Amino acid sequence: MHIPWRTSVDVFAQILRRHGVAQDSVTDVEAAWCAFAELLQLDIVGLDSTPDSDADGFIIQWGRRSWSDNRLILTFTRQLAIVDIGDHDERCWQPELWQLDLEMAFDDKADLIGLDRLDVQNTGFRFPPVGPLRAAALTNTWAEAQRHAPVRAAWIATPASSGLSFECVS
């Protein structure tokens, strides 16, 4: 299925609902992950299609962020390099980077201690194409995140709040 980039946030919200997840009150992180994995297998129209482009990728991030009331967070992000924006005739034109984030914030609890002090705060971006290569990368990324006890604890905890956002980051 091909979806326009501008509607990707709405499509993700619909997928979340199908998985029994309300975007503003996630109670099941694993269900949210399954919805995110489904979204990542959809082709998005309007992305940079040059060979070896990092136009469509994903990352899992965790830690403590000031914009989340200094709460511990776990975030699923899809990053898109959008080409149908701006003046392509400009000398320095480049695709705009947009990020679609599902951020889940957690209250401090004993099993989450250390989530913000791990040596690594994310899985690193992955840019495999939609299909079997992306499915394999999702499995590997999930396994990488699960190696950290506080991330595993967040995965089974109930977030105190959550939110879906889609914004330009470049």
pLDDT in tens, 119-143: 899 999 999 999 999 999 999 999 9
State pTM to two decimals.
Answer: 0.92
For residues 38 and 36, give the distance between their C-alpha atoms in angstroms, rounded to a whole number: 5
Task: State the total domains in the chain.
Answer: 1
What lies within 8 Å, CB to CB, of 10 at 6+ separation is none
Torsion-angle region of 123 (φ positive above 0: left; ψ -120 to 50: alpha; else: beta): alpha
Per-residue pLDDT tens digits for 24-62? 999 999 999 999 999 999 999 988 877 677 899 999 999
Boundaries of domain holding 160: 2-168
